[in-house]
């Protein structure tokens, strides 16, 4: 039996969907305009920058960026062409590879970060009260927990 949304749930869903898609679109456009990279590339650089040695196995990078292996491989190829990431083979597994963030990639991330953070602050946090920020965190965590499974 279908559990249809009531009027209040429908309004909440549409507001949530609209807000999140508009925010992600804005983040992507701003990063593309200001730093010359899509948000997906920025996310790869961030994940690598936070790893020990700025290096991560490609399969784990795909998991952490919620990307298919083929999509990640394509993105890393583009990042390699820019000199921001370098691939290297795993010593203990001939099929595996690591992605390493280069110094140039770290510099590109450092240059892009201030504008990205300002966009996030302007469009997500500035319109909210401190109480709403706490509610947003709690709501987001509750949703995330149901989807992690």
CATH number at residue 84: 1.10.10.10
Return the beta strands (E) in the chain as ranges.
Answer: 55-57, 85-89, 97-101
Contact 135, 94 (CB under 8 A): no
91-113 pLDDT, tens per residue?
777 778 999 999 999 999 999 99
Residue 35 forms part of a structural domain: yes
Cβ(79)–Cβ(41) under 8 Å?
Answer: yes
Q: Is residue 116 part of a domain?
A: yes
- pLDDT tens digits for range 130-144: 999 999 999 999 999
Report how many domains make up the chain.
1
Domain for residue 52, yes or no? yes
Q: How many residues does the chain have?
A: 149
In a domain, 14, yes or no: no
Q: Is 77 part of a structural domain of the chain?
A: yes
**pLDDT value of residue 149:** 61
Cβ atoms of 65 and 44 closer than 8 Å = yes
Residue with tokens 């083979």: 89
| Amino acid 90: pLDDT | 83
Tell whether 55 is covered by a domain.
yes
Closest CA to 108 of 85, 87, 131: 85
In a domain, 40, yes or no: yes
3-class SS of residue 99: strand
Instruction: Classify residue 4: in a domain, yes or no.
Output: no
Q: With CA atoms as reference, report the closest residue to 40 among 97, 116, 142, 135.
A: 116
| Structural domain boundaries enclosing 117 | 21-148
Answer whether 0.85 is exceeded by the pTM: yes
Ranges of residues in the chain with a pLDDT under 50 are none
């Amino acid at each position: 039996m279908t559990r249809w949304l009531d009027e209040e749930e429908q309004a909440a869903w549409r507001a949530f969907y609209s807000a999140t898609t508009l925010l992600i679109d804005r983040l992507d456009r701003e990063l593309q305009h200001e730093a010359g990279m899509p948000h997906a590339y920025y996310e790869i650089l961030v994940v690598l920058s936070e790893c020990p040695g700025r290096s991560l196995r490609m399969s784990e990078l795909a998991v952490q960026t919620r990307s298919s292996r083929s999509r990640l491989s394509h993105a890393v190829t583009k990042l390699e062409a820019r000199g921001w990431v370098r691939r290297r083979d795993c010593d203990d597994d001939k099929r595996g590879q690591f992605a390493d963030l280069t110094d140039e990639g770290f510099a590109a991330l450092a240059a892009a970060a201030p504008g990205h953070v300002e966009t996030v602050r302007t469009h997500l946090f500035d319109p909210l009260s401190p109480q709403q920020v706490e509610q947003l965190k709690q709501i987001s965590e509750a949703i995330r927990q149901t989807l992690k499974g």
